[in-house]
Chain A
Amino acid sequence: MSAGVPALRLEDITCRFAARDGGGAYTAVANTSLTIAAGEFVSVVGPTGCGKSTLLNVAAGLLAPSQGSVSVFGQPLIAADGVNRRAGYMFQADALMPWRTGIDNVVAGLEFRGVPRAEALAQGEAWLRRVGLAGFGDRYPHQMSGGMRKRLALAQTLILSPDILLMDEPFSALDVQTRQLMENELLALWAEDRKSVLFITHDLEEAIALSDRVVVLSAGPATRPIGDFKVDLPRPRDVSEIRMTPGFLALHREIWAAMKEEVLKAYAAQKAA
């Protein structure tokens, strides 16, 4: 798995945001390198505001880093030339088209690719069933709950079967039961064709339960990875059962020890600001 070209490689990425009205520039991410092998499931955890979404935007080709380079399956990715076409991105914020019904949102990507309408709709209905939204296809986003919208966004991204999946806290709006269902569903989908996944979360347990590797980011500003933990728990996993195993608990303790200090630091910094 580690042999061959990595699916995604971020090299020495620095992102500095120009300051508005006078203040100093803000360095969100500094000198960060991250490699995701083909077929690997990597989670990134870090305190709020540390720059996780920023890093993902760089990987998606939506944001040009101030410094550093990105390559996708060996090809350099240049944001000015367009987005990362091998990747699907599930955004943290709502990004559904409010004027399209559920099903029309799900098939949007197929439509952009010129797939015939009837075929797109058939696939779309299948995906709605998979994310538990069968029968809700004719609702508009504003008629759905936050969790339903998240699942709709998941279907919208996965229907295109991207080689790389970028997910920004996709399940944080869901209740515990639905969340575990969706996590298991994601793992099942991932096991089918081994996409490369870069998964961002606040939730360390979720990160360990899902991933092959967990990367811990430091608190901002100038965020960088401060820990990289291999998760060699057996697969296939069931996310609710694996949380009880001794291997999981040991990893959790180890990673939490590394994270705790950063979380407190971030909290103190935001309280002071």
Chain B
Amino acid sequence: MRLRTLQILVVCLVVAFWYVMTAPGLIPPFYFDKANRAAFFFGEPQKVFWVIVEWFATGEIFGHLGVTLLETALGFLIGSVFGLAIGLWLALSPTASAVMDPYIKGFNSMPRVVLAPIFAVWFGLGIWSKVALGVTLVFFVVFFNVYQGVREVSPNLIANARMLGASRRQLLRSIYLPSAMSWVFASLHNAVGLAFVGAVVGEYLGSSRGVGYLILQAEGTFDINTVFAGILVLTAFALALDAAVGSVERRLMTWQPRASETEKV
């Protein structure tokens, strides 16, 4: 409880500092030569607040958030499916993995954000160029986790399943896949976060809808308050997304031991 109070206090202090430093004429300008310059560069908290309120009051923001969310979800799903499939394939086939190894490493070290303009050319300015960027980001996280996960399945577990009569296919379904999935879930937060980054960066680089587009548009008119409002909405949204992922994770991973599980009496 005390902690919560202190956390809220920190926010209040930051906002107060922001307000005092930027409110035109409140304190004499000491860096800029005009009184309203600070507000021009850094925005004003109360105006940012009203921009957000208006977005939600008019409902304008929901369409944009919906688009960003859709891009994030598609990027995450498609990237995960590809990562899972190719991770399983390469982990189970030593030859394929040896052949593909340098290319995988190369693609992974490439700063994939630079692909965004290319995707815009290939897939247009609609959602698919953002999804594609999200996919390239998510894919590698999931891929490496699955690859690692399959490689580290306990040999005992495989031997036991084989002795119980599992065919190669059944081994894949009941040993490799669940084991890989547990690694995928371990990287869930990371993957969803990257899909979100892909969506927003994609929008920012060229789009007609989405929260990233709102920011882009506001920057074009030097409307710094709207830019900050967009950033705040994105942050809150990312936090909500992370919480949602956390609850999904808890539901799906009941079989995993946690650090301490005894109940207090």
Residues of A near B161 (CB, < 8 A) are 97, 108, 112
Q: Tell whether B46 is near chain A: CB-to-CB under 8 Å.
A: no
Q: Tell whether A87 is near chain B: CB-to-CB under 8 Å.
A: yes
A87, chain B: closest CB distance, angstroms:
7
Residues of B near A135 (CB, < 8 A) are none
Q: Tell whether A109 is near chain B: CB-to-CB under 8 Å.
A: yes
Assembled-state Cα–Cα distance A126/B40 (Å): 76
Contact A142:B165 (CB < 8 A) given known A97-B175, A99-B182: no
B160 contacts A91, CB within 8 Å?
yes
A140 contacts B255, CB within 8 Å?
yes
B175 contacts A142, CB within 8 Å?
no
Assembled-state Cα–Cα distance A157/B160 (Å): 9
Q: Tell whether B36 is near chain A: CB-to-CB under 8 Å.
A: no
Q: Tell whether A62 is near chain B: CB-to-CB under 8 Å.
A: yes
A83 contacts which of B162, B179, B182 (Cβ < 8 Å)? B162
Q: Tell whether B104 is near chain A: CB-to-CB under 8 Å.
A: no
Q: Tell whether B157 is near chain A: CB-to-CB under 8 Å.
A: yes
A108 contacts B174, CB within 8 Å?
yes
Q: How many residues from B make CB contacts under 8 Å with A?
A: 22
Q: Tell whether B246 is near chain A: CB-to-CB under 8 Å.
A: no
A142 contacts B178, CB within 8 Å?
no
B173, chain A: closest CB distance, angstroms:
10
B163 contacts A112, CB within 8 Å?
no
Contact residues of B between 125 and 177, Cβ < 8 Å to A: 154, 156-157, 159-167, 170, 174-175
B217, chain A: closest CB distance, angstroms:
47
B261, chain A: closest CB distance, angstroms:
8
> Nearest residue in A to B170 (C-beta to C-beta)?
A112
Residues of B near A85 (CB, < 8 A) are 165
B257 contacts A97, CB within 8 Å?
no
A97 contacts which of B159, B167, B170, B174 (Cβ < 8 Å)? B174
> Nearest residue in A to B166 (C-beta to C-beta)?
A112
B160 contacts A89, CB within 8 Å?
yes
A162, chain B: closest CB distance, angstroms:
9
Q: Tell whether B93 is near chain A: CB-to-CB under 8 Å.
A: no
Q: Tell whether A95 is near chain B: CB-to-CB under 8 Å.
A: yes
Q: Tell whether B7 is near chain A: CB-to-CB under 8 Å.
A: no
A56, chain B: closest CB distance, angstroms:
11
Assembled-state Cα–Cα distance A85/B162 (Å): 9
Residues of A near B5 (CB, < 8 A) are none
Contact residues of A between 72 and 116, Cβ < 8 Å to B: 82-85, 87-89, 91, 93-101, 108-109, 111-113
Q: Tell whether A156 is near chain B: CB-to-CB under 8 Å.
A: yes
B257 contacts A62, CB within 8 Å?
no
Contact A88:B255 (CB < 8 A) given known A99-B178, A108-B174: no
Q: Tell whether A60 is near chain B: CB-to-CB under 8 Å.
A: yes
Residues of B near A93 (CB, < 8 A) are 156
Contact A91:B159 (CB < 8 A) given known A85-B165, A109-B165: yes
B256 contacts A142, CB within 8 Å?
yes
Residues of B near A83 (CB, < 8 A) are 162-163
Q: Tell whether B254 is near chain A: CB-to-CB under 8 Å.
A: yes
Residues of A near B160 (CB, < 8 A) are 89, 91, 95-96
Residues of B near A84 (CB, < 8 A) are 163
Assembled-state Cα–Cα distance A57/B175 (Å): 20
A sample of 7 inter-chain contacts (CB < 8 A) reads A60-B159, A62-B162, A88-B164, A95-B154, A97-B161, A157-B163, A160-B164
A87-B163, A89-B163, A95-B159 provided; 15 other pairs, C-beta below 8 A? A57-B159, A62-B159, A82-B162, A83-B162, A97-B157, A97-B175, A98-B256, A109-B165, A112-B161, A112-B165, A112-B167, A112-B174, A113-B165, A140-B254, A140-B255
Spell out A's residues near B (CB within 8 Å).
Answer: 57, 60, 62, 82-85, 87-89, 91, 93-101, 108-109, 111-113, 140, 142-143, 156-157, 160
